[in-house]
Amino acid sequence: MKKSLISITIALTLLLTSCNVPVAGNTTVQNETDEPEITSGAIVTTAPPVTSEASHSLNELRDMIGEFKKTGDHRSIYETALKLIELDPADTDSYILAINALVAMSNLNRDEINRLLSLGVDNAGDVQALSEWAKHYQPECSVSMPFIPDCTSPDEINTVGISTGNMTNAAKYNGWWVGGLLTWQGDWVYFTRPDEDFAMYKMRSDTSEYQSIGEEHGYCVNVIGDWIYYVNYYDENKAYKIHTDGSEKTKLTDDDCSFLSVSGEWMFYHNGNDNGCLYKLKTDGSGKTKLVDKTVMFACVADGYVYYTEKSMDSSLYRISIDGGNPEVYIGLGTAFIQTYSIWNDWIYFFDANEPYSVRRVRTDGTDCEVPMPFHQSISTLNISEGKLFCSFWYDKHYEEDGFYIGEEIVVFDVETLEKLYHIPADTEPICTGPDGWIYYLKHSENLAWYAMDKDGREYKVE
């Protein structure tokens, strides 16, 4: 019994001190860069020494506690109960008195936190900073904070949630193709970390202001306006949406989704509950419609069409209007496996994973199929941003666990002149584009850690 009570006291003390702030009237100022400290108004976790002046009999101490209860002096009750425990460690009531006093002081602290947060919502110059403080330090003590959008300028707001290049720069994890690892809107980048069970994060394009998006885990990350649309990794691949600050989480369908992409008020995805057929669904969860009655792969929406391949021996690239109708066949080059493609200036750039020695392209209207870039090395992936073609090459047949090649070097070309601009070593499979010429990629040699590269070829680790 003694050990149990002492364990309870320690556990409660550790729990409640996580909610410590000064109570009303305390003027202690905390440096904004420091973590919260225990102040003179916070809970005390060790007993004060018993001095000659404070030495009392057990009955005198109990009488003192009775007086403190009348005035609501929980701190004095707590400290006096600790003296009782010191004088008589077998007295169970003293432990309960100390614990109850801690709970009462914690409730007062929590109420004061909520009062200050509410006051700050109405008056503080940077409400977002208050919201971030509450999220990181006192999530159980916070009031409802107002939603503050990441982007406010209409010019920054996406109309499509993710690019074709970022969606189809997929990788195999546990035997499944996972796409949509990163997207962006304005100067914000939203992404998922395969090394953390697809935990979702956001940051500025230069990797600053790195922060989690609630406690969400997902992929196929799309952003339009104030909402992130994604496939929930922990809910059997159901489609969800959540505010960009991690609030207002909402399930949209019970379908098993993959390669989810969003345009306007419509989402498009492979439906695992219907043999991987292509479906669309409104962003409020209504209007579910089948678009293609065949198993599809690597689907993504762009410019009013959904592009996809079929799971068959003929891996041509198709597209269908977002309004439905008959699919249109585009690339008839006898390709065996089109995995990654990127649309840029009315051209679709791609490569055949079974013949990976050239970048091919075809116009989005289906004409002018050509091979503008033959290489002597094998390509593992490609993407395009702001007139630059990013290719990952492999040289020594470095296999990934699933049998697909991992690149050893990222080479950057001018997409029009084919001039080689620069290159960096990077053992990566996906390459994703971001704002202002930034790209982002995973390093397999570092347990799938994210890296970023600016438009001048400088590399930064994301952490």
pLDDT band, residue 232 (cuts 50/70/90): very high
pLDDT band, residue 268 (cuts 50/70/90): very high
The pLDDT score that the predictor gives to residue 262 is 98
Q: Which of 297-306, 308-317, 443-452 is the least confident region?
A: 308-317
| Mean pLDDT, rounded, for 21-30 | 37
| Mean pLDDT, rounded, for 414-427 | 90
Supply the DSSP symbol for 285.
S
Strands of 296-302's sheet in order across: 296-302, 305-310, 317-321, 328-329
The pLDDT score that the predictor gives to residue 160 is 97
The pLDDT score that the predictor gives to residue 334 is 60
Exposure b/e, 277-287, CB count within 10 A at least 16 = b: bbbbbebeeee
Spacing of C-alpha 241 from chain mean position: 12
Q: Is the pLDDT of residue 20 over 60?
A: no
What are the pLDDT digits (tens) for 373-391?
888 788 889 999 999 999 9
pLDDT band, residue 141 (cuts 50/70/90): low
The pLDDT score that the predictor gives to residue 84 is 93
- CA 419-422-425 angle, to 5 degrees, is 135
- State which H helix or E strand residue 106 sits in: helix 92-123
Q: Is the pLDDT of residue 18 over 50?
A: no
| Mean pLDDT, rounded, for 108-116 | 85
Please report the domains of the chain, with CATH numbers, ordered by start residue: 2-141 (no CATH), 164-461 (2.120.10.30)
The pLDDT score that the predictor gives to residue 366 is 80
Q: Which is more confidently placed, 152 or 213? A: 213
Q: Is the pLDDT of residue 51 over 60?
A: no
The pLDDT score that the predictor gives to residue 314 is 64
Joined tokens for residue 462: 């994301």
What would the DSSP string read from start to end of 211-274?
EEEEEEEEEEEEEETTEEEEEETTTTTEEEEEETTS-S-EE--SS-EEEEEEETTEEEEEEGGG
The pLDDT score that the predictor gives to residue 283 is 97
Question: What is the pTM (predicted TM-score) of this model?
Answer: 0.74
pLDDT band, residue 396 (cuts 50/70/90): low
- CA-CA distance, 130 to 122, in Å (whole number)? 11
Mean pLDDT of the chain: 83
Q: Is the pLDDT of residue 260 over 60?
A: yes
| Mean pLDDT, rounded, for 136-153 | 74
| Mean pLDDT, rounded, for 291-319 | 88
pLDDT band, residue 140 (cuts 50/70/90): low
The pLDDT score that the predictor gives to residue 390 is 95
- CA-CA distance, 131 to 124, in Å (whole number)? 11
The pLDDT score that the predictor gives to residue 299 is 95
Q: Is the pLDDT of residue 22 over 90?
A: no
- CA-CA distance, 216 to 230, in Å (whole number)? 10
Q: Which is more confidently placed, 398 or 213? A: 213
Contact between 270 and 237 (Cβ < 8 Å): no
Q: Is the pLDDT of residue 47 over 80?
A: no
The pLDDT score that the predictor gives to residue 269 is 98
Query: Judging by beta carbons within 10 Å of its beta carbon (0-12, 13-18, 19+), is residue 368 exposed, middle or buried?
Result: exposed
Q: Which is more confidently placed, 374 or 255? A: 255
| Mean pLDDT, rounded, for 355-384 | 85
Q: Which is more confidently placed, 123 or 185? A: 185
What would the DSSP string read from start to end of 63-105?
HHHHHHHHHT-HHHHHHHHHHHHHH-TT-HHHHHHHHHHHHHH
The pLDDT score that the predictor gives to residue 189 is 98
Q: Is the pLDDT of residue 117 over 50?
A: yes
